[in-house]
Amino acid sequence: MEDPDFLDSAFIYLLAAVVAVPLFKRLGLGSILGYLMAGMVIGPWGAGLIRDVDSILKFSELGIALLMFLIGLELKPSTLWKLRRQLLGLGTIQVGVSTLVIAGLVYWSGVPPLLSLAVGMALALSSTPIALQTLEERGQMKTDVGEASFSVLLFQDLSIIPILAIVPLMGQESSATGSILLTELKVVGVFVFFIVSSRFLLRPLFRYIAMTGLREVFTSFSLFLVVGSGLLTELAGVSMALGTFMAGVLLADSEYRHELELNIEPFKGLLMGLFFIAVGMSVNIGLFLAGPIEILLLVLALFVAKGAVLLVLARFAGFTRADQVFFALLIAPAGEFAFVLISILTAASLMPEPVGAKLLVVASMSMLLAPLTISARDLIVRRMMDGETRETDVQSDQGHVIIAGFGRFGQIVGRLMLSLKIPAIIVDNNPNHIDTLHKFGFKVFYGDITRPDLLQAAGAKDARLLVLAMDDPAAVLAAAETASKYYPKLTKLARASTRVDVMNLKSAGVAHVRRETFGSALEIGEAALRELGFPAHVAHRTAGRFRRYDEMAIEEAYKFRDDEAAVIDFAKRSRKELENLMGHDVATTINQDKGW
Amino acid sequence: MKNILLLYCHPFPHKSRYNRRLQEVARKVPNVEIRDLYELYPSMHVNERDEQQALRRADAIVLQFPIYWFSAPALMKEWMDVVLQDGFAYGKGGNALVGKKVMLAVSTGGDEASYRAGEKHGADIAAFLLPFRMTAEFCGMVAAEPFITFNARNLDYEQINECAGTFAEHLMQLANG
């Protein structure tokens, strides 16, 4: 990307994406195919608007790093630990058996054994971005298929380490163990550094940056963190994606998780799009057209070989028939790693140039076809089900309570929920608060609840309740309005400061509004009545009655909200009315000595 | 001497001269622990542990309340629902109350003649006290003769004093018997 061309290229990418993606989405083919097609059209084999595919591909790999970071953020170390059996079981079988099957086929066609093995490894791995993006788009990340796919993909990312260490050595006779050991030592070193710094370095840094209150600095820092962790692991000889994933996992417990998610998400989306465009651009259509049947047959062979292994695995995992096929189609296509490995092999002249070129076409075609096959599978499944059962595979998180603002007010609400083990997500935007609360063992996220994307990150879609308990009445109102706009079905409870706030919040769709001082002031009033000689229960009832009349008066006043003179007039009248009502109650229930 | 627990359950004590007087008298009887339920639980959240401990301490229990709508005031029922738990008052291991004496001390607004079949209140007062008697027996307690004062709203000062004296005697008998 030369400087003068940069804006031109950017313009072309953006235009292609904006034109193609909505179109494909509307056709029900998913956004990925849209990007891929857009890439093919603008790429060197299409209109030739963009030529420098390799550097774009390299740059857009940052998108994968961001994607893996975000996935890591969703996975706590403990969740990851729970996946270990799937990871090792499904992962080793998929990678091992697929490699052997593909290598066997290649060897059978007359390729030397070592090279066959290398091709097997290159094609056995899958496309993490295509699979994960597909899962995410369908909201199936947390389903069984989603978890199994993710486990396999993660294992593949791990297996890249030894593969990359072995392959260059294939031509030579020397043993590879020394270099693997060194790499692994480096990796362990980097991870130890991650763990230590995530505990002791990042929290104060986040705090320091959050204190500035400048959103763009926080964004910069978020990106810096991802890029930095990626570069560090790459330095150690592991893929960037794996490093950012680990960084994500280590920050999954952090109170800044939601804010990180929000800041990285748009970049990830853009760069992933760019990545898919780049893949589309790299499909060598010229070579494909020179022998389309042969290429398609090879792609088919790849799908069949990998698919067969995956179907067996899915069967053992106990998936339904439809899910088995979905899982197979998701993992079967070759991945971007094939590009890397094939280039290494050809560069080291371990693989003849024409074979490498052909394999690249096969790999990119398989990636191109992946979204199409999945769409086809959907169509068939839908036909077969034919409305007899609804789609149930979208699992929402269990309904939780979101508490925004964890100061003196929110803490009381929060402690009540936590004491009953009601799942609650607590959000506060005061770094000082968060620090103190941490010392007391509360889990609080940093963020500004008035932003719709933070609401989304806090799981507003699946939440049962949203409690707005912030100090700032304006923020409470803003958050209530935002929540009503984006999540009209979410039940909202809010803390109000004044009577005017009560009215505004009610009209913003808040189900339960309470004035922050009213309850405790009334309790003092009740205690005063007791001291004045009222029986306890009578004092309690009287205070309750007062509350009822007062709240009625607010509702009444709400009707005059636009007319200030009427409001003042009403306030005067209602005070008189309150005196009359309470006076009457006292006369009938208190100053009477006619009971038994 | 036996320990007596007097549970007083009146939502509007300031309106009942009769029950206030009984309370004054009861306070002077030795070995009587008084628990004013509406004073202890103005918002009706009964603390079942405190109540169960008080019951364990007592040898005899007196429930003092006005008859409202053919039954006790709401908190009395709430107290029964919350305190007389499975495993405490009945069921497996629920023998905390077995053998203890219970006496009801109730007051009515209507006169005695109205508590008869065909009259205003339709039945003898015993019919309306039956749920309390059955509850006591269900828990293995021994029900004593209830202390009933009809027409409590219209008694004059001397009549009230007389009633209060009799009430104190009943309490003494429970303590000694």
Count of CB contacts below 8 A, A vs B? 47
Identity of the amino acid at A474: A
Residue A310 pLDDT greater than 80, yes or no: yes
Task: Classify A493 as helix, strand or coil.
Answer: strand
What average pLDDT does range A22-50 have in this prediction?
Answer: 82
Which is more confident, A464 or A383? A464
Locate CATH 3.40.50.720 in chain A: 401-590
Which is more confident, B103 or A38? B103
**Nearest chain B CA: its distance from A538 CA (Å):** 7
Name the DSSP class of A334.
B
Distance CA A256, CA A431 (A): 10
Judge contact between A418 and A446, C-beta under 8 A: no
What average pLDDT does range A445-452 have in this prediction?
Answer: 84
Distance CA B126, CA A275 (A): 87
Percentage above 90 pLDDT, chain A: 12
Residues of A in contact with B11 (CB under 8 A): 537-538
User: What mean pLDDT is reported for chain A?
Assistant: 82
Identity of the amino acid at A82: K
Q: Which two tokens stand for residue A227?
A: 């890029």
User: Do the chains contact at A537 and B11, CB–CB below 8 Å?
Assistant: yes
* Closest partner CB to B14 (pick from A540, A590, A596): A590
Sheet with A444-446, strands from edge to edge, namely A444-446, A424-428, A401-404, A465-468, A491-496, A512-515
pTM for the whole structure: 0.58
Distance CA A74, CA A138 (A): 17
Judge contact between A36 and A368, C-beta under 8 A: yes
Closest CA to A467 of A455, A451, A452, A453: A455
Residues of A in contact with B67 (CB under 8 A): 596
A421 contact partners, CB below 8 Å, separation of at least 6: none
| Best of B22, B40, B43 to mutate (most A CBs within 10 Å, chain A) | B43
Q: What are phi and psi of A239, to 5 degrees?
A: -65, 145
Residue A308 pLDDT greater than 70, yes or no: yes
User: Do the chains contact at B12 and A536, CB–CB below 8 Å?
Assistant: no
Distance CA B133, CA B125 (A): 12
* pLDDT score for A478: 94
Measured from the Cβ of residue A194, the count of other Cβ atoms closer than 10 Å reads 20
3-state helix/strand/coil string of A338-361: HHHHHHHHHHCCCCCHHHHHHHHH
Distance CA B18, CA B82 (A): 28
What average pLDDT does range A274-283 have in this prediction?
Answer: 84
Q: Is the ipTM of this structure higher than 0.90?
A: no
Residues of B in contact with A537 (CB under 8 A): 11, 38-39, 41-42, 75
Q: Which two tokens stand for residue B172?
A: 């003494």
Residues of B in contact with A538 (CB under 8 A): 11-12, 14
Percentage above 70 pLDDT, chain A: 93
Q: Which two tokens stand for residue A46?
A: 């299409």
What average pLDDT does range B133-137 have in this prediction?
Answer: 96
Residue A566 pLDDT greater than 70, yes or no: yes
Confidence of residue A385 (pLDDT cuts 50, 70, 90): low
Q: Which two tokens stand for residue A501?
A: 């706030």
Which is more confident, A577 or B96? B96
What average pLDDT does range B33-52 have in this prediction?
Answer: 93
| Best of A545, A594, A596 to mutate (most B CBs within 10 Å, chain B) | A596
pLDDT tens digits, A212-261 = 878 888 889 888 988 888 888 888 777 788 888 888 888 887 888 888 88
Confidence of residue A169 (pLDDT cuts 50, 70, 90): low
Give the chain A residue nearest B64 (alpha carbons): A596
User: Do the chains contact at A596 and B66, CB–CB below 8 Å?
Assistant: yes
Residues of A in contact with B66 (CB under 8 A): 595-596
Residue A348 pLDDT greater than 80, yes or no: no
3-state helix/strand/coil string of chain B: CCCEEEEECCCCHHHCHHHHHHHHHHHHCCCEEEEEHHHHCCCCCCCHHHHHHHHHHCCEEEEEEECECCECCHHHHHHHHHHCCECCCECCCCCCCCCCEEEEEEECCCCHHHCCCCCCCCCCHHHHHHHHHHHHHHCCCEECCCEEECCHHHCCHHHHHHHHHHHHHHHHHHHHC
**Nearest chain A CA: its distance from B99 CA (Å):** 31
A337 contact partners, CB below 8 Å, separation of at least 6: A122, A125, A156, A160
* Closest partner CB to B18 (pick from A535, A538, A596): A596
For β-strands A491-496 and A444-446, DSSP reports them as unpaired
What average pLDDT does range A273-285 have in this prediction?
Answer: 83
Domain containing B141 — which CATH number? 3.40.50.360
| Best of B14, B112, B114 to mutate (most A CBs within 10 Å, chain A) | B14
Judge contact between A295 and A84, C-beta under 8 A: no
Give the chain A residue nearest B107 (alpha carbons): A596
Which is more confident, B48 or A397? B48
Distance CA A147, CA A142 (A): 6
A3-385 architecture in CATH?
Answer: Up-down Bundle (1.20)
Helices (H), A109-143: 113-124, 128-137
Give the chain A residue nearest B153 (alpha carbons): A596
Domain membership of residue B103 as a residue range? 4-176
Name the strand (E) or helix (H) holding A446: strand A444-446
Measured from the Cβ of residue B170, the count of other Cβ atoms closer than 10 Å reads 19
Which is more confident, A423 or B101? B101
Give the chain A residue nearest B151 (alpha carbons): A596
* pLDDT score for A382: 73
Residues of A in contact with B41 (CB under 8 A): 537
* Closest partner CB to B42 (pick from A539, A594, A595): A539
The residue length of chain A stands at 596
* pLDDT score for B143: 95
Which is more confident, A355 or B35? B35
Residue A396 pLDDT greater than 50, yes or no: no
The contacts found for A348-354 with CB under 8 angstroms, 24 or more apart, are A348/A168, A348/A171, A350/A115, A350/A118, A350/A167, A350/A170, A350/A171, A351/A115, A351/A118, A351/A119
**Nearest chain B CA: its distance from A521 CA (Å):** 17
Name the DSSP class of A463.
-
User: Do the chains contact at B153 and A540, CB–CB below 8 Å?
Assistant: no
DSSP sequence for A221-262: HHHHHHHHHHHHHHHTTS-HHHHHHHHHHHHTTSTTHHHHHH
Task: Classify A591 as helix, strand or coil.
Answer: coil
Task: Classify A427 as helix, strand or coil.
Answer: strand
- Helix%, strand%, coil% for chain A, nearest 5: 70, 5, 25
Distance CA B106, CA A156 (A): 81
User: Do the chains contact at B109 and A539, CB–CB below 8 Å?
Assistant: no
Confidence of residue A171 (pLDDT cuts 50, 70, 90): low
Give the chain A residue nearest B11 (alpha carbons): A537
* pLDDT score for A56: 80
* pLDDT score for A592: 65
Locate CATH 1.20.1530.20 in chain A: 3-385
What average pLDDT does range A559-580 have in this prediction?
Answer: 80
Give the chain A residue nearest B66 (alpha carbons): A596
Q: Which two tokens stand for residue A429?
A: 């935007």
Q: Which two tokens stand for residue A79?
A: 């969740």
* pLDDT score for A32: 82
- Report the phi/psi class of residue A441: left, alpha or beta, with left for phi > 0 and alpha for psi in -120 to 50: left
Identity of the amino acid at B59: D
* pLDDT score for A23: 86
Distance CA A496, CA A510 (A): 11
Residues of B in contact with A593 (CB under 8 A): 14-15, 17
What average pLDDT does range A575-581 have in this prediction?
Answer: 81
The Cβ-side half-sphere exposure at A356, using a 13 Å CA radius, reads 16
User: Do the chains contact at A596 and B109, CB–CB below 8 Å?
Assistant: yes
What average pLDDT does range A150-177 have in this prediction?
Answer: 70
Residue A515 pLDDT greater than 60, yes or no: yes
| Fold of the domain built from segment(s) A401-590 | Rossmann fold (3.40.50)
**Nearest chain A CA: its distance from B76 CA (Å):** 14
Residue A509 pLDDT greater than 70, yes or no: yes
Give the chain A residue nearest B150 (alpha carbons): A596
Helices (H), A27-46: 31-42
| Residue B35: exposure state from Cβ atoms within 10 A (0-12, 13-18, ≥19) | middle
Q: Which of A105-109, A455-459, A507-511 has the highest mean pLDDT?
A: A507-511
* pLDDT score for B124: 95
Residues of A in contact with B153 (CB under 8 A): 594-596
For β-strands A512-515 and A491-496, DSSP reports them as parallel
Closest CA to A477 of A445, A452, A508: A508
CB contact, 8 Å: A76 with chain B?
no
* Alpha-carbon dihedral A587, A590, A593, A596, rounded to 10 degrees: 130
Task: Spell out which chain B residues touch chain A, with contact meaning CB-CB distance below 8 angstroms.
Answer: 11-19, 38-43, 66-67, 75, 107-109, 151-153
* Alpha-carbon dihedral A73, A75, A76, A77, rounded to 10 degrees: -110
Distance CA B68, CA A325 (A): 71
* Closest partner CB to A592 (pick from B15, B43, B67): B15
CB contact, 8 Å: A388 with chain B?
no
Distance CA A520, CA A141 (A): 46
- Lowest-pLDDT range of A228-232, A439-443, A550-554: A439-443
Residues of B in contact with A536 (CB under 8 A): 38-40, 42
| Best of B9, B15, B76 to mutate (most A CBs within 10 Å, chain A) | B15
pLDDT tens digits, A38-77 = 888 888 877 878 777 778 877 887 888 888 888 888 777 7
Closest CA to A536 of B48, B73, B11: B11
pLDDT tens digits, A76-108 = 777 778 888 888 888 888 889 999 999 898 888
Distance CA A583, CA B118 (A): 40
Residues 482-541 of A with CB under 8 A from B: 535-540
Distance CA A91, CA A102 (A): 16
Judge contact between A228 and A240, C-beta under 8 A: no
Give the chain A residue nearest B44 (alpha carbons): A537
Closest CA to A31 of A163, A129, A118: A129
* Closest partner CB to B16 (pick from A538, A539, A596): A596
* pLDDT score for B76: 97
* Closest partner CB to B38 (pick from A537, A589, A596): A537
Residue A505 pLDDT greater than 70, yes or no: yes
Closest CA to A150 of A137, A164, A133: A133
Number of domains in chain B: 1
